[in-house]
């Protein structure tokens, strides 16, 4: 497989390049994309074999669910049973932004939601008209990729397309908070400090097992 690299203007990604990447994803391909924090890899959830391929490529355990990438925070409510008050506060304050919020799905499973302000990812999601599922673009246990070259170092010839928008702005993984517990559980501290989240929620956060990207 030859990985297609599409270099885009990070502020205004060309519609024709987003459409080109979307066409590969709609055929069951894997795309690497920038966020404001680090690069991610993702696919459409209706291709279970491709979802499994993401796990295999990363060396990621199946006990670690993929995140759902959405174009706007308001879409989260369409995918969950309920949004607790703590989650509402976090969503209103930080999304779009460097926070992953875990909520309970309709079948009782836990789902992490990521809404990035990055124009390339947001544009791709709008072209697709549906969410992506994915994770950070790195081998499990390794540092997350901050530019397309680091993505290619891990996945060149193993994924269909990379949207290269240059280096990410933050360079640190998103903070992950599980809002299915009371009080919420800090799963991973990243770009948003735990103390800042605790202050917003006026609650002491639980500390979960350390999560790597």
Proportion of the chain in helix, strand, coil states, percent, rounded to 5:
30, 20, 50
- In this predicted model, what pLDDT tens digit does every residue of 113-126 receive, in sequence order? 999 999 999 999 99
Take residue 119 and report the two structure tokens written for it.
Answer: 């124009």
- Name the least confident of 8-12, 25-29, 64-68, 203-207: 203-207
Query: Order of strands, edge to edge, in the sheet holding 185-188?
Result: 4-7, 161-164, 31-33, 40-43, 132-136, 67-69, 110-114, 99-104, 175-178, 185-188, 206-207
**Domain annotation for the chain: domains and CATH numbers:** 4-207 (3.90.870.10)
Convert the pLDDT of each residue in 80-122 to its tens digit: 989 999 999 999 999 999 999 999 999 999 999 999 999 999 9
| Residue 210 pLDDT exceeds 60 | no
More confident residue, 104 or 209: 104
The answer on pLDDT for 213 being more than 60 is no
> Which long-range contacts link 137-142 to residues 24+ away (Cβ below 8 Å)?
137/32, 137/38, 137/39, 137/40, 137/41, 138/38, 138/58, 138/213, 139/58, 139/59, 140/58, 140/59, 140/60, 140/61, 140/212, 140/213, 141/59, 141/212
Q: What pTM, to 2 d.p., does this model score?
A: 0.95
């Amino acid at each position: 497989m030859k990985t297609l690299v599409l270099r885009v203007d990070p502020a205004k990604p060309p519609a024709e390049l987003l459409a080109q990447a979307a066409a590969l994803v709609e055929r069951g391909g894997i795309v690497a994309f920038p966020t404001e924090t680090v690069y991610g890899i993702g696919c459409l959830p209706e291709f279970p074999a491709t979802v499994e391929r993401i796990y295999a490529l990363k060396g990621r355990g199946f006990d670690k669910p993929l995140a759902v990438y959405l174009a706007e925070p308001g879409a989260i409510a369409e995918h969950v049973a309920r949004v607790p008050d703590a989650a509402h506060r976090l969503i209103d304050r930080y999304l779009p932004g460097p926070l992953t919020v875990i909520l309970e799905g309709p079948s009782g499973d836990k789902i992490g939601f990521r809404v990035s302000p990055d124009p390339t990812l947001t544009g791709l999601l709008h072209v697709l008209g549906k969410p992506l599922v994915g994770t950070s673009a790195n081998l499990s246990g390794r540092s997350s990729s901050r530019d397309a070259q680091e993505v290619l170092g891990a996945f060149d010839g193993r994924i269909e397309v990379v949207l290269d928008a240059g280096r990410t702005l933050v360079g640190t993984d998103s903070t992950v908070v599980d809002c299915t517990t009371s009080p919420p559980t800090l799963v991973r501290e990243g770009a948003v400090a735990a103390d800042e989240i605790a202050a917003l929620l006026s609650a002491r956060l639980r500390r979960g097992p350390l999560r790597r990207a």
